[in-house]
Amino acid sequence: MNMKNPAHPGVVFLEMYLKPSAISVTKAAQTLGCSRKHLSGITNGKASVSADMAARISKMTSTSARFWLGMQNSFDLAQLDMNNYKDIQADQSMPVVNA
């Protein structure tokens, strides 16, 4: 299913995990071992969830790191303006190399 405007994973973390549990961004940052500023950027949708942060969040929420990274990838792809890639020639694909 292709979503036009998927949620940023940091906003999901804030709305579905931190707020219902009454955990502040400051306390979550301490638990995750990162700065409050960094986590605030993520929960405000301004910073991306890295593989490292996805693993940390997954431990805190009993979810998988793949879940958070997949959400980040979906968000990033939705933000792309595909018109920026109009000059790339799709018919000139790379040959397949057998390993």
For residues 45 and 41, give the distance between their C-alpha atoms in angstroms, rounded to a whole number. 6
Tell me how crowded residue 69 is: count the other CB atoms within 10 A of its CB.
19
For residues 48 and 75, give the distance between their C-alpha atoms in angstroms, rounded to a whole number. 9
Question: Quick one: pLDDT at residue 34?
Answer: 98
Q: What is the mean pLDDT of residues 86-98?
A: 72
Sketch out the chain's domains with CATH numbers.
Answer: 9-77 (1.10.260.40)
What mean pLDDT, rounded, does the chain reach? 91
- The structure's pTM equals 0.82
